[in-house]
Amino acid sequence: MRILHTSDWHVGKVLKGKNRTEEHIRVLAQVVEIARAERPDLVIVAGDLYDTAAPTAEATRLVTRALSALRKTGARVVAIGGNHDNGAALDALRPWADAAGIELRGSYPKGDLKDLLIEGTTEGGERWRLVALPFLSQRYAIRAAEMYDLTAAEANQTYADLMARLIAKISEPFGEPGVVNLLTAHLTIVGASTGGGEREAHTIMGYAVPATVFPPNAHYVALGHLHRTQSVISPCPTRYSGSPLAVDFGEEENVCSVAIVDVSADRAAHVRDVPVTSALTLRTVRGTLEQLATVNLPDAWLRVLVREAPRPGLREDVQELLPNALEVRIDPDMLPKSSGARGAERAGRSPRELFGDYLDSRGNAEEGVRELFDELYDEVSSNR
């Protein structure tokens, strides 16, 4: 059977105030085109369909249309909730999804865990089973009373043990011969590399589990959550598909793609990545205004590190040269290094003196700034 594995769409993402809806439309349209060309039996979307737990109507429309278009290619479609998604809201869409032939698993059922085991048969007669595990919050997995009684290390180990038991329980049917055994989850694996734009609170070690939680008789594990495409050393073939577009400047070096997996019950999974190139690239450039005037990157969103002394109007000057600059900062190499000794020297100095030190450290000699600070400080002080 053939599988198209994608994840971390982050529809609704706003980058430094820039709405990226048009890019997402192009990216998801290209993913659908790849599905039409590759003709997978199964499409797996491994979480983070949205960038926020409260997506706009526009974002919801785009995600549901993309899922519908993938289903119309003839593939079965399974999508799980990620840490950015509202699991309950995804589950509320299940009547629509069921009618459309799409399998949505936004959160964990309160009753029978068998709802997380999905089965099917390809047109060629290949039987498959898929364990679909949405993101599981540590606070939800471990009761509050237990969290207070456990150290951080104990809570981390408790979370990992719980995930291992959960996976082992739901994957018990994997022992049957002649069936392709699959698993998809939205989580962090110990030792895997972050992509640069993930939500830090959900990628720290408290949420990381060892790859040994996966059953050795699984033919392929399709992961979401980390935005960098990568394979993971595991008892079975395990891979992050990565995000199909760079969601933040920390991901500018990532190669955006979807994974195409060919596998059968008696043959190891063969994975190849198909690039997704519809989004604008993200680039960091640095230099003086004179150097920045020579930059020619019209098809990229830019983070600009300016090698000039700070002054009012500098950002506007940069954006006049580079209209696609979304972030403009002074190059850190241009800022003086602070030291503990200097901090000690400042102890006991007045706010006016400290503000003067700050302006001096930034090379700001703009007339009137110190006088304006004095006026504002006097006004605030007199109102106390």
* Cβ–Cβ under 8 Å, residues 235 and 216: yes
Q: Which residue has the higher pLDDT, 207 or 289?
A: 289
Please state the rounded mean pLDDT for residues 152-178: 84
pLDDT at 198: 55
Residue 351 confidence (pLDDT) above 70: yes
Q: Enumerate residues 6+ apart whose C-beta is below 8 A from 121.
A: 127, 128
**Most confident of the following: 40-44, 145-149, 176-180:** 40-44
> 166 in helix, strand or coil?
helix
pLDDT at 201: 42
- Using CA atoms, how far residue 59 sits from 8, 85, 242, 335, in Å, is 14, 12, 20, 40
pTM of the model: 0.83
How far apart are alpha carbons 246 and 382 in whole angstroms? 50
pLDDT at 150: 57
Residue 186 confidence (pLDDT) above 60: yes
pLDDT at 302: 95
- Comparing CA positions, the residue from 128, 95, 140, 132 lying closest to residue 113 is 132
* Cβ–Cβ under 8 Å, residues 142 and 162: yes
> What is the CATH code for 2-275?
3.60.21.10
The residue ranges of every structural domain in the chain are: 2-275, 281-383
How far apart are alpha carbons 283 and 277 in whole angstroms? 15
> 361 in helix, strand or coil?
helix
Q: Enumerate residues 6+ apart whose C-beta is below 8 A from 281.
A: 246, 252, 299, 300, 301
- Comparing CA positions, the residue from 217, 149, 141, 216 lying closest to residue 179 is 217
Q: Which of the four pLDDT bands, split at 50, 70 and 90, describes residue 341?
A: very low
> 123 in helix, strand or coil?
coil
Residue 53 confidence (pLDDT) above 80: yes
